[in-house]
Amino acid sequence: MIGEGDRVPALKTRLSDGTELNLASPGRPLVLYFYPKDDTSGCTKEAQDFTLLVEDFTKAGVNVVGLSRDPMKKHDKFIAKYDLKVPLASDEDGAFSDAFGTWVEKSIYGRKYMGMERATYLIDGDGRVLKVWRKVKVPGHAEEVLKVATAA
């Protein structure tokens, strides 16, 4: 599990906006938020909250990327449906969520299953983790991340 002060692994992925993300050297600060599933209530709210603040993050010199195990086709529909301004990445092979320890056992109504833990990482431009939020609750989260990101 990757924690504060750790260097992130050299993982690369293509984002929904067509750019490539090299996690080990993003070039400028990066907010990477892991979320369970496109087009569900909590995940939609979280993506909308980051979208509302994307200009503030940009002014602060911070990129924001959302990541789930959904395929890019599903991401594209999700972005279009809600007019999201934050690029999304697909972790279909689980490389990112395995490296960050966000693919965890969950339980609902006594049934156990594997799923994505809602977590957010603030990473500096050289690929070092500045701040970690685990087991994120959506209300107010994007605002809190912006506050920390602009102070870093």
Pick the catalytic residue from 43, 64, 142, 146.
43
Q: In Å, what is the CA distance from 145 to each residue of 26, 77, 92, 110, 119?
A: 18, 26, 26, 32, 11
* Separation of CA 45 from chain center: 13
Active site residue 43: yes
The residues carrying an active-site annotation are 43
